[in-house]
């Protein structure tokens, strides 16, 4: 399948022009198509997404056919909070990698989805069918999975345009002084440890914005915090928590070497997801309770600091979905 356009105006980037023409393709998707040689300008492969277009330019976009999945279906129990013919919302457990790759060939969420669902979108390729966005292996909670390409494009666009709202809860080390605030930095690969991300000088990484609000304080030991993502960079909340001087409890990469609370994996949970249905246009919200380990630690801290557990009832309620 290919799309053809003729430029009738100037002063626009190639990816901006195409995103306005196609509407269903996000700029990130178009960038990948350009980088892979699937966009021609006047018969020659485009080299840069940011190249300017001029009047009379003829542009062709080739859309590769979806490739057969190479990941294998596996009967792995997963909690599906919601699903219809367009998408599914899954409550990912701790310790599960989202997709095949980097030595993870089995036991991933993709392996489980291929078994549990009747279809997945093919835009993500053979290793990431249906995957619109990711959460870290040891982070728990909600993510949306596309079941067809049209839904995938819509959901990816919502995330890119910040129309998809994602809310996380984390237990942080120490006492966070501010009640609420915004962390806005550039994030990129750590200059000496390529397995880690880090806050970099302006212009050295990608812009990352995280809003936070204190939910409860447990003396000077811990702070329960809500995080609302405005962007979706790799390890964003974990890096920003460290930047605040209060890393996520249990974080094996960015946390303290000597931790007051012994847990297997960080206490970071994607609790709420809000999006617009790709077909109906209805606004929908999904919630998932804090995992058992997280709840048990909060119960102990509430007892120690004489805090009413009912203050967190919305975070421990069963998974549910509703129209907003």
Catalytic sites, residue numbers? 136
Helix axes 14-22 and 27-35, enclosed angle (nearest 10): 120
> Could you count the other beta carbons within 10 Å of the beta carbon of residue 277?
16
236 Cβ contact partners less than 8 Å away, ≥ 6 residues apart: 187, 208, 210, 229
Identify which of 222, 272, 271 has the alpha carbon closest to the alpha carbon of residue 247: 222
Q: 27-35 and 149-160 are packed helices; what angle lies between their axes, rounded to 10 degrees?
A: 110
> If DSSP codes are grouped into helix, strand and coil, which group holds residue 238?
helix
Query: Hey, how many other C-beta atoms are within 10 angstroms of the C-beta on 66?
Result: 16
Alpha carbon distance 29, 19 (integer Å): 9
Which residues, at least 6 apart from 152, have a Cβ–Cβ distance to it below 8 Å? 121, 123, 124, 130, 132, 146
- Non-local (6+) Cβ contacts of 42 within 8 A are 57, 58
Whole-number Å distance between alpha carbons of 278 and 146: 10
User: Which residues, 6 or more positions from 60, have their beta carbon under 8 angstroms from its beta carbon?
Assistant: 2, 3, 4, 5, 39, 40
In the chain, count H helices and then E strands. Answer: 7, 17
* DSSP H or E run through 298: helix 292-304
User: What is the rounded CA–CA span in Å between residue 224 and residue 222?
Assistant: 7
């Amino acid at each position: 399948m290919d799309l053809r356009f003729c430029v009738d105006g100037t002063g626009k980037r190639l990816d901006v022009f195409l995103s306005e023409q196609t509407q269903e393709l996000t700029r990130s998707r178009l960038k990948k198509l350009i980088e892979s040689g699937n966009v021609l300008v006047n018969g020659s492969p485009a080299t840069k997404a940011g190249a300017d277009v001029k009047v009379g330019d003829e542009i062709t976009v080739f859309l590769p056919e979806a490739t057969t999945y190479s990941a294998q279906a596996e009967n792995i129990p997963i909690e599906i909070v919601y699903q219809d013919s367009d998408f599914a919302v899954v409550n990912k457990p701790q310790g599960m990698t989202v997709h095949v790759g980097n030595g993870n060939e089995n036991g991933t969420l993709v392996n489980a989805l291929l078994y549990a669902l009747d279809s997945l979108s093919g835009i993500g390729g053979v290793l990431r069918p249906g995957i619109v966005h990711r959460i870290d292996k040891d982070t728990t909670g909600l993510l949306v999975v596309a079941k067809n390409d049209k839904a995938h494009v819509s959901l990816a666009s919502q995330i890119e345009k910040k129309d998809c709202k994602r809310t996380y809860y984390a237990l942080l080390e120490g006492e966070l002084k501010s009640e609420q605030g915004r962390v806005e930095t550039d994030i990129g690969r750590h200059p000496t440890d390529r397995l880690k991300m880090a806050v970099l000088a302006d212009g050295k990484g990608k812009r990352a914005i995280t809003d936070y609000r204190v939910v409860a304080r447990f003396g000077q030991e811990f702070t329960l915090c809500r995080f609302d993502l405005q962007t979706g960079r790799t390890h964003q909340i974990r890096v920003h928590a460290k930047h605040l001087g209060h890393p996520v409890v249990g974080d094996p990469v960015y946390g303290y070497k000597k931790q007051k609370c012994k847990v297997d994996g960080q206490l970071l949970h994607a609790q709420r997801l809000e999006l617009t249905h790709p077909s109906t246009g209805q606004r929908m919200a999904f919630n998932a309770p804090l995992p058992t380990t997280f709840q048990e630690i909060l119960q102990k801290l509430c007892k120690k600091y004489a805090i009413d557990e009912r203050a967190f009832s919305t975070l421990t309620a069963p998974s549910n979905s509703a129209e907003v």
